[in-house]
Amino acid sequence: MLLIAVILYVAIAFALQTVRVDGESMVGTLQNQDLLLASKISYDFGGNPQRGDIVILIPPADPSQDFIKRVIGVPGDVIEIDGDHTPTQVLIKPGGKGAFQVLNEPYLPQPWVTLKYCCTPSGMATTSSPQPLTIPAGDYFVMGDNRNFSSDSRVFGLVPRKNILAKAILRIWPLDHFGGLGAGPILEPVSTTALAIPALGIAAFEAWRWRRRRMRRSAAARTAPPGPDPLS
């Protein structure tokens, strides 16, 4: 029995770890000092991180510490962040195919107003305009849910697969919040409403110009002197 107990303990210790949240970057889903249970083997048997997974990772800029973030873009995706929209839109072509889709993220705690344009070739934020990026094989784009207070891929760039250590699966403390980590993001078609409004404006402007030209021609025809009699 003791041997079995030791084997089970080693197996559990190998497969799982506890993680304490330190900071506010995941507020909306996780709170500072929450205690989580994470699986260290979720990605070790042929699986890879998926969009929406909450993962423990080593940031490329500082290998001395671990971060907890949400996977937003996976290898092959084309990703763009457009802060010209309200709210800011994360646009993704899953696997690089088809049209852009909007990432619906109901867990965000507040409007997102910082680092709201992306991406440079390394996956970091741009200054004032959205730029699409194709995520290379083996790399991931991650962000904290509290976008205004998160150091993530917008700051340190794409995260290599080898830097992703575990997948958070359960909150075990505080007890009054014990349970799963909530629903993830959903990809939805880009709304055509925003495109329809400018199109209607252009159509109305062209119609106004056409009417104005027609009125000018009519006025010119009324004031022009009579020409010679074509039969004289």
Indicate which residue of 40, 42, 69, 162 is catalytic: 69
SS3 content of the chain, % helix, strand, coil (to 5): 25, 25, 45
d(CA 167, CA 162) in angstroms, rounded, equals: 13
d(CA 92, CA 78) in angstroms, rounded, equals: 6
**Cβ–Cβ under 8 Å, residues 51 and 73:** yes
In Å, what is the CA distance from 138 to each residue of 81, 115, 122, 124, 165?
21, 24, 13, 17, 14
Name the amino acid, one letter, at 194: A
Question: Could you tell me which of 184, 172, 182 has the C-alpha nearest to residue 33?
Answer: 172
**Cβ–Cβ under 8 Å, residues 184 and 52:** yes
d(CA 30, CA 24) in angstroms, rounded, equals: 8
Let me know if 122 is a catalytic residue: no
Let me know if 116 is a catalytic residue: no
The C-alpha angle with vertex 162 and arms to 156 and 163, in degrees rounded to 5, equals 40
- By annotation, the residues acting in catalysis are 25, 69
